[in-house]
Amino acid sequence: MSRSVQAKALVETLLTIPTVRIQNVPRTTEKLQKVIQDGKHNLHFISDFDMTMTRHWIRNRITDALERNSSSHGIPARSSIMTQEYKDETHRIYNKYYPIEIDQTMTFEEKVPYMMTWWKEAHASIVQQKLKKQDLQEMVKQVSMELRSGLDRVLAHCRHHSVPFLVFSAGIGDLIEEILRQADLYYENMHVVSNMMVFDKDNVCIDFKEPLIHVFNKSEFQLETSPYHRLIEERRNVILMGDSLGDLQMSQGLKHDLCLNIGFLNHDIKSLEPAYMAAFDIVIEGDANMNPVMEILEQIQ
């Protein structure tokens, strides 16, 4: 079977999945053809973490009602380790800034100053708690965070085929690494670029490393200066996964021939679908699983 026929058949298969949307079929088919043709040795992944590698919605274990999954920034506030003052402050700033993040009437540029302030206030609140490294382990054990169904298969496949996998997140990197470790999903082919804590000689968190990464400035982080770059500098094709239009910036700090963009549209589907379908090559709707991603990976030899 030619690569062209294989790519067309793959797109047809993807479109039979009820949660998958593809607006520009010719463009997506062309990208998939190149990814398949160039093979796994020319491929790497860049993925957001919160609400991309994790679920957006989970079932409350007591009421069975749908509720928001925890984010990496949200884990401390849901643990017993943090003070009530911290939890109240986190609730206050979330209610102040989250509506701005999702405001569809504002541009990215208008939102950036608010996001910078939000992240700085959130990190300052954490530093005030004088957390220790071992506290992070306990937090992750305490707080139920659900990974997206099928993520384990995607990560295992990438590990088995030595496909580098970058987790690029505006969350808290130390917690993301701990979440993946406790799930036995943090492999040697993976690297996390995120907001990392600074610990003193007593393993107490005293600051966060610069630069600060928030949801709308991922294009400003130069991945070429990170240790991850040596793993992927010869790999010219990238599969990017994110749940926000801002995540499309994640590949801008790297030289590549092709970027296949996969967007997870978890909420407000009716209002956001046109923008997501125009921006992403493949859109997976409804907080669905990663089976479409595995369909793609299984075609790449």
The structural domains of the chain, with segments of one domain joined by +, span 3-55+147-297, 64-142
Name the pLDDT band for 29 (thresholds 50, 70, 90).
very high
- Positions annotated as catalytic residues are 48, 50
**Mean of pLDDT values over 247-259:** 87
pTM for this one? Answer: 0.94
What are the distances in angstroms from CA 7 to CA 13, 16, 29, 296? 10, 14, 6, 9
Q: Which residues contact 56 (CB under 8 A, 6 or more apart)?
A: 68, 69, 243, 264, 266, 267, 287
The pLDDT value recorded for residue 166 is: 93
Helix axes 173-182, 133-142, angle to 10 degrees: 60
Residue type, 27: R
Q: What is the CATH number of domain 3-55+147-297?
A: 3.40.50.1000
Mean pLDDT (the chain, rounded): 94
Please compute the mean of the pLDDT values over residues 257-277 and round it to a whole number. 96
Tokens of 90: 């986190």
Q: What is the mean pLDDT of residues 97-114?
A: 91
Question: For residue range 272-292, what is the model confidence (pLDDT) as tens digits?
Answer: 999 999 999 999 999 999 999
pLDDT class for 102, splitting at 50, 70, 90? confident
119-133: average pLDDT: 96
Residues 144-155 pLDDT 10s: 899 999 999 999
| CA–CA distance, 129 with 142 (Å, rounded to integer) | 18
Q: What average pLDDT does range 69-81 have in this prediction?
A: 95
Q: What pLDDT is attached to residue 144?
A: 85
Model pLDDT, residue 152: 98
User: Among 181-195, 240-254, 255-269, which stretch is predicted with the lowest mean pLDDT?
Assistant: 240-254
Taking 90 as the threshold, does the pLDDT of residue 62 lie above it? no
Q: Can you give the pLDDT at residue 160? A: 98
Please check the confidence at residue 257 and state whether its pLDDT lies above 70: yes
| pLDDT on residue 34 | 97
- pLDDT number for residue 220: 63
CATH number assigned to the domain covering 64-142: 1.10.150.340
**pLDDT of 137 above 80:** yes
pLDDT at 167: 95
